[in-house]
Amino acid sequence: MSRPWIEFIFAQKIGWQAGLYGGSRDGVYSKILSIDEEAGDASVIIKYPPGWSHESKKAVLADEEFYVLDGSLKINNQIYKQDSYANLPGGYPRDHFSSQEGCVALTFFSAKPILGDADSFDDSELITYINTLDMKWDSASNDPALDWMGNKRKVLKWDKEFDQQGTFIFSTPPHIYPNNWLCPTLTHPCAEETFIISGSYIGPCGKMSKGAYFWRPEYKPHGPFGTREGAFSLIRFKYGKHINIWGEEQIKYSFNANYDPILPDHLKQYGDLEFEGGESY
Ligand SMILES: [Fe+2]
């Protein structure tokens, strides 16, 4: 039960597929960023065409967590505009589900999103609506060795099992690391997932800019990472405690790393060409 190491792909390179895996959302287009084929949980970008609507008395039988990248969605009486977030537990009733202007939503399912009958849902997990623009940034560091960087976060979903930020948006200021800076790698006992919304990070696998995505399983040493222009991303920690385990060896940092991704076979076709990112997803 795991997802393969993907570090990193540009979402823009993956083609849109009609519908959504699990077959429950006719009329949308989607692209799977990463998936656990056995367990069915996945990270997906869903594109809702203008005028799309879905009328069904059936519930989605998986937790659906989403962040609106573009456009807007309406679920029940709530409109979700750009930079809005929700976590809707499996079984959550949707009497109304539509997108008048169209929408692109970064979406995370806890299991295959099939439709079925449900008369209840876990309301301790329900986050009906967050407009992230209304939130204040707070200091993101849980490691004094990183305090000097000035990272900020907005926590969207708290992981109760591991008592930590589970889903959050993350702001890194510009001007982090000069060329040839020496820094060890980091390793965590949790999986780490990141989608770049704007700006960029540069690391050993190349420059991640808008639309870049990675899924890094537990215990994979990584970094060092830096940025000249700053970066804004959405991050999730899964399946373990986010503890920083620093490597022994000092690694020389470079702003000039070429795109050299770690990809499973089914994504290797997207890892060949240099890509500078793009405006749309
Ligand atoms: Fe990390």
Report how far ligand 1's centroid is from the alpha carbon of 65 (Å).
21
| Residue 1, in any domain of the structure | no
Last residue of a domain, one of 99, 133, 167: 133
pLDDT for the residue numbered 275: 62
| Residue 114, in any domain of the structure | yes
Report how far ligand 1's centroid is from the alpha carbon of 188 (Å).
7
Last residue of a domain, one of 73, 99, 133: 133
* Residue 211 structure tokens: 């639309």
Report how far ligand 1's centroid is from the alpha carbon of 78 (Å).
34
42 and 55 fall within a common domain: yes
pLDDT for the residue numbered 57: 83
Residue 49: is the preceding peptide bond cis (ω within 30°)? no
Query: Do 155 and 174 form a contact (C-beta atoms < 8 A)?
Result: no
Report how far ligand 1's centroid is from the alpha carbon of 225 (Å).
9
| Residue 235 belongs to domain with CATH number | 2.60.120.10
Report how far ligand 1's centroid is from the alpha carbon of 193 (Å).
9
| Residue 275, in any domain of the structure | no
Q: What is the pLDDT of residues 234-278, one digit of tens each?
A: 999 999 999 999 999 999 999 999 999 999 999 998 887 666 666
pLDDT for the residue numbered 260: 92
58 and 76 fall within a common domain: yes
Report how far ligand 1's centroid is from the alpha carbon of 218 (Å).
10
Q: What is the 3-state secondary structure (H, E, C) of the chain?
A: CCCCCEEEEEHHHCCCEECCCCCCCCCCEEEEEEECCCCCCEEEEEEECCCEECCCCCEECCCEEEEEEEECEEECCEEECCCEEEEECCCCCCCCEEECCCEEEEEEECCCCCEECCCCCCHHHCEEEEEHHHCCCEECCCCHHHHHHCCEEEEEEEECCCCEEEEEEEEECCCECCCCCEECCEECCCEEEEEEEEECEEECCEEECCCEEEEECCCCCECCCEECCCEEEEEEEECCCCCCEECCCCEECCCCCCCCCECCHHHHHHCCCCCCCCCCC
Query: Do 61 and 109 form a contact (C-beta atoms < 8 A)?
Result: no
170 and 98 fall within a common domain: no
Report how far ligand 1's centroid is from the alpha carbon of 60 (Å).
32
Report how far ligand 1's centroid is from the alpha carbon of 59 (Å).
35
Last residue of a domain, one of 117, 133, 149: 133
| Residue 7, in any domain of the structure | no
Report how far ligand 1's centroid is from the alpha carbon of 222 (Å).
7
Report how far ligand 1's centroid is from the alpha carbon of 135 (Å).
24
Report how far ligand 1's centroid is from the alpha carbon of 175 (Å).
19
Report how far ligand 1's centroid is from the alpha carbon of 202 (Å).
13
116 and 209 fall within a common domain: no
| Residue 207, in any domain of the structure | yes
24 and 116 fall within a common domain: yes
Domain count of the fold of the chain = 2
Report how far ligand 1's centroid is from the alpha carbon of 71 (Å).
30
How far is the first Cα of the chain from the last one, in angstroms, to the nearest whole number? 29
pTM of the predicted protein model: 0.95
85 and 181 fall within a common domain: no
User: Parallel, antiparallel, or unpaired: how do β-strands 17-18 and 29-35 relate?
Assistant: antiparallel
C-alpha triplet 239, 189, 263: angle, nearest 5°: 80
Q: What is the pLDDT of residues 168-187, one digit of tens each?
A: 999 999 998 888 889 999 99
Report how far ligand 1's centroid is from the alpha carbon of 210 (Å).
19
| Residue 197, in any domain of the structure | yes
Report how far ligand 1's centroid is from the alpha carbon of 211 (Å).
18
| Residue 128, in any domain of the structure | yes
87 and 110 fall within a common domain: yes
Report how far ligand 1's centroid is from the alpha carbon of 187 (Å).
6
Determine the structural domain holding residue 170 and report its residue range.
138-270
74 and 153 fall within a common domain: no
Q: What is the pLDDT of residues 201-238, one digit of tens each?
A: 999 999 999 999 999 999 999 999 999 999 999 999 99
77 and 182 fall within a common domain: no
37 and 19 fall within a common domain: yes
Report how far ligand 1's centroid is from the alpha carbon of 142 (Å).
12
| Residue 208, in any domain of the structure | yes
122 and 154 fall within a common domain: no
Ion ligand 1 — residues with CB under 5 Å?
186, 192
Residue 149 pLDDT level (bands cut at 50, 70, 90): confident
80 and 150 fall within a common domain: no
